[in-house]
Structure 1
Amino acid sequence: MKDPKVEHYDLVIVGGGLAGGLFLTALQHHHPHISTLLVERSPQLGGNHTWCLHEGDIPERSRPWFLPLLSHSWDRYEVFFPSHHRVLERSYHCLKSEDFAAKIASRCGSAATSKPTPPLIRLNSEVTGWKKDSDGETLLEIRGQGPTPVAASKPTLPVAASKPTLVRCHSVIMAGGWQPLADPKSFGWQKFVGLEVRLQRPHDLRWPILKDVRVPQIDGYRFFYTLPFSSDQLLIEDTYYSNHPGLRVERIEREIYQYAERQGWRIGEVLRRETGALPLAMNPPAMAVSEWPVLGAQSNYFHPVTGYTLPFTLRMIQDLMDHSNLTVPSMQKVMQLNFHRDERRFRFLAMLNRMMFLAAKSETRYRILERFYRLPLPLIERFYSGKVSLFDQIRILAGKPPVPLGAALKAVRRQTKVDENSPAASP
């Protein structure tokens, strides 16, 4: 760290994916005068993702700054099972990463204030060193591209070889992606291959199909997921709740083409490909331990049954805006309170995973969800937001279980080694 240029910020966000971008946007709405730097190692904010959420996942106080980021919204969605079809009349929303990167620019600095402080970003950059100074502030060494105003940033900027820059800041928050798991076999997995396609002729799909389970049940609980973006543009995903994260991408893409043909959709062009494997915890996720506050997937704060981080990240960010002063100790305290609040719910949701992955046969796992989608809509929405009440838990478990009773009881009592695998989030 010899004679680098020193820059000063109130707060530095390390990571420009979903969590980092949302935190930056919330800061600009609630605290527009705070000087902020976001550091992202890749050349593009947000990566290559499609994030979706239910209406009930959005905190009321987050709506003014979050809703403008959305790419698409629908007023209902539907599910298909072998013996059950249902249209659920509740809004469903989608956020595409390319829109996310662009809309951050238009959202930043738009809060009602006379002199907002525009945030800066560094793409193709990493924090390569850090220490505390005598005043209690943090000194970060950053290598890569120099900072630019968000409004001027481009997702394809080249990596700039540069001397290290020293950044002095009051607070740091980490917002990285998933951390490596010590033993992936201790987790279930929601994995998928998706194709965003343009059809040769318009389709007649009016709203999303969240689950179409009328397909061969191979490699676990399997369903197709389809989002209509326009009259001739769809995102079609082939999704599996599997015991392993492996994907045979070419074979699954052929399955997507065949599924589209069966629906009467003739694919003319593939616009984008997306793959993923989300860990599903069989024991409650443990809070990541770090010198700094940790947000998003890196924090292990995610829905145990779906692997989704967006609903929990939104709630955490809004609580940080409302109940912390954005110092490191204050933010860490709010995060600990959130984990403690959800601990009992996480235990229940992780227990459901054990029933699915340890008690149910691979080809009959869908029966658990088929039964679930007969429950009242408000309960379904609370489930996906991770806010299941004790009464909700009783309703979900009531009646004859869709898995063998003996295997279900054994799975409920079983503990895996997943608790040992919750990694510390290193700077």
Structure 2
Amino acid sequence: MERSNGCDVAIVGGGLAGGLIALALAERCPGLHVRVIEGGAAAGGHHRWSWFASDLDPAGTRLMAPFRMAQWHEGYEVAFPRHCRTLQTPYRSLASRDFAAHLATALPAGTLATGQRVAGLAADGVTLAEGGRVPAGVVIDCRGFQPTARLQGGWQVFLGRHLRTDRPHGLTRPTIMDATVDQTDGYRFVYVLPLAADEVFIEDTYYQDAPVLDRPLLSGRLDAYAAAHGWAGTVLEQETGVLPVITGGDFAGWQAEQRVPGVARAGAGAGFVHPLTSYTLPFAVETALAVADAFAHQPQMTGDALATMLEQRAADHWRRTGFYRLLGSMLFGAAGPAERYRVFERFYTLSDPLIERFYAGRSTWTDRLRVLSGRPPVPIGAAVQALVQPRAPLYSGTQQQRDCA
């Protein structure tokens, strides 16, 4: 099946989705010649992915097990103005440098092609920006989400910092949400991961209406948060992100808008994301295993067949996650920016299993009724109006994702 100077499967984008598909194929279908074409200097970019142990089934847990990751077996904490809690679900976090390091050793030599910008995709290969072409039997586009007028919602904006402290910080478990911080600008929380006795990752995160990342503002607030907790030391790394929080839209139209005949799509750019939390790892793992399973059962898999399969999986995922888009509409539309934290504050009074299923995107009908029952954290009239009034598009022509450096 391999093409001369080409490959059986070309994966465009060496981020989480593309890297995991390559890894799953290498394990399940070692006879396939796979090429991962990444524009950056290394696979994975500059990110940190986190998840709950309960997000993955046994097969997904096995796929992720070889990665070097931070693990907390005694749960995590949340903090809100009127409610603090420790939950028992084990938590995991993977840095992109460790992701790239494992791919470099686990994938066959020559699989990863970094520093290769892509000019175009077709069913039979990939055209490179610097010239040349990679022929392929199947092409999978795993590049990230691009703003679109077809979908609606808001944005999750964050700045994270890996700090080596000048003395032990004393933390034993993560704080997934510290929403006791100022809420003026929208739902805001600080995310804290104790990575070692003298290392901590802190991230300032906002659910806001515009995709604007004010780096000096967030950096100053991280400085203040660290000082308030007595953490001083050396900044080892810093990362930023502007992620969509999807509340609705024309998903089929969005799929058609970006479709290239015979080219499959995976990852956040194909819709495999939790609409409210922006989590991607559980869905990237599921998709990678599904792709590997498809090739294992049909070695002569075509690009058309794989594109159809993944498009259908994405459409099914969209249907299954409608409840989270509804909650996102309430979060953004039913309360002023300073009051949005109340939605999550009330949510974290619910049971551990319900919260686990929520993050994994597997909420039952009973879970949904429980989340929506009782005294609402926002005015009922405003909640109803938020559900019937569409949010702004995730791209409006002049809208830009802005990093105010």
Q: Fold conserved (TM > 0.5)?
A: yes
Partner of 1:315: 286
User: Are 1:173 and 2:140 counterparts?
Assistant: yes
Partner of 1:150: none
Partner of 2:402: none
Task: Note the C-alpha offset of 1:22.
Answer: 1.1
Q: SS of the residue aligned with 2:78?
A: strand
User: Are 1:34 and 2:32 counterparts?
Assistant: yes
Partner of 1:213: 179
Task: Note the C-alpha offset of 1:335.
Answer: 1.9
Partner of 2:127: 141
Q: SS of the residue aligned with 2:244?
A: strand
Partner of 1:336: 311
Cα distance between partner residues in 2 of 1:14 and 1:130 = 9
User: Are 1:385 and 2:360 counterparts?
Assistant: yes
Q: Cα–Cα, structure 1 residues 336 and 142, in superposed 2: closer, same or farther, change >3 Å?
A: closer
Work out whether residues 58 and 311 of structure 1, in 8 Å CA contact, stay in contact via their aligned partners in 2: yes
Pairing 1:69-148 to 2, within 5 Å after superposition: 69-75=67-73, 76-109=75-108, 118-129=109-120, 138-144=124-130
Q: Cα–Cα, structure 1 residues 296 and 65, in superposed 2: closer, same or farther, change >3 Å?
A: same
Q: Cα–Cα, structure 1 residues 218 and 39, in superposed 2: closer, same or farther, change >3 Å?
A: same
Partner of 2:401: none
Q: Equivalent of 1:227, from 166, 186, 193?
A: 193
Q: Cα–Cα, structure 1 residues 344 and 127, in superposed 2: closer, same or farther, change >3 Å?
A: closer
The aligned amino acid for 1:9 is: C
Partner of 2:277: 306
Provide, for residues 305-356 of structure 1, a one-character-per-residue CA deviation record: whole Å limited to 9, x for no partner.
0122222221122222224534323322332342343333322111111111
Stretch moving more, 320-329 or 7-16: 320-329
The aligned amino acid for 1:123 is: T
The aligned amino acid for 1:19 is: A
Work out whether residues 142 and 165 of structure 1, in 8 Å CA contact, stay in contact via their aligned partners in 2: yes
Q: Equivalent of 2:375, from 380, 387, 400?
A: 400
Percent identity, please: 36
User: Are 1:189 and 2:155 counterparts?
Assistant: yes
User: Are 1:268 and 2:259 counterparts?
Assistant: no
Task: Note the C-alpha offset of 1:229.
Answer: 0.7
Cα distance between partner residues in 2 of 1:248 and 1:129 = 33
Work out whether residues 180 and 189 of structure 2, in 8 Å CA contact, stay in contact via their aligned partners in 1: yes
Task: Note the C-alpha offset of 1:284.
Answer: 5.6
Cα distance between partner residues in 2 of 1:336 and 1:178 = 15
Stretch moving more, 256-265 or 224-233: 256-265
Task: Note the C-alpha offset of 1:297.
Answer: 1.7
Q: SS of the residue aligned with 2:79?
A: strand
Work out whether residues 35 and 119 of structure 1, in 8 Å CA contact, stay in contact via their aligned partners in 2: no
Cα distance between partner residues in 2 of 1:339 and 1:130 = 20
Cα distance between partner residues in 1 of 2:9 and 2:319 = 33
Cα distance between partner residues in 1 of 2:54 and 2:181 = 29
Q: Cα–Cα, structure 1 residues 369 and 106, in superposed 2: closer, same or farther, change >3 Å?
A: same
Q: Relative contact order: is structure 1 or structure 2 higher (C-alpha 8 Å, sep ≥ 6)? A: 2
| Structure 1: 5+ residue stretches without partners | 110-117, 133-137, 145-163, 422-427
Cα distance between partner residues in 2 of 1:414 and 1:400 = 22
Pairing 1:283-302 to 2, within 5 Å after superposition: 283=248, 286=251, 288-289=255-256, 290-291=259-260, 292-302=263-273
Work out whether residues 149 and 394 of structure 2, in 8 Å CA contact, stay in contact via their aligned partners in 1: no
Q: Cα–Cα, structure 1 residues 6 and 322, in superposed 2: closer, same or farther, change >3 Å?
A: closer
Pairing 1:6-17 to 2, within 5 Å after superposition: 6-17=4-15
Partner of 1:113: none
The aligned amino acid for 1:121 is: L
Provide, for residues 377-398 of structure 1, a one-character-per-residue CA deviation record: whole Å limited to 9, x for no partner.
1111111111112111111101
Cα distance between partner residues in 2 of 1:142 and 1:343 = 32
Partner of 1:54: 52
The aligned amino acid for 1:120 is: T
Q: SS of the residue aligned with 1:247?
A: strand
Task: Note the C-alpha offset of 1:128.
Answer: 3.0
Task: Note the C-alpha offset of 1:285.
Answer: 7.1
Cα distance between partner residues in 2 of 1:41 and 1:285 = 30
The aligned amino acid for 2:126 is: L
Q: How many residues align?
A: 384
Cα distance between partner residues in 1 of 2:374 and 2:186 = 24
Q: SS of the residue aligned with 1:302?
A: coil
Work out whether residues 281 and 418 of structure 1, in 8 Å CA contact, stay in contact via their aligned partners in 2: no
Cα distance between partner residues in 2 of 1:328 and 1:405 = 48
Q: Cα–Cα, structure 1 residues 416 and 259, in superposed 2: closer, same or farther, change >3 Å?
A: closer
Q: Cα–Cα, structure 1 residues 196 and 60, in superposed 2: closer, same or farther, change >3 Å?
A: same
Q: SS of the residue aligned with 2:311?
A: helix
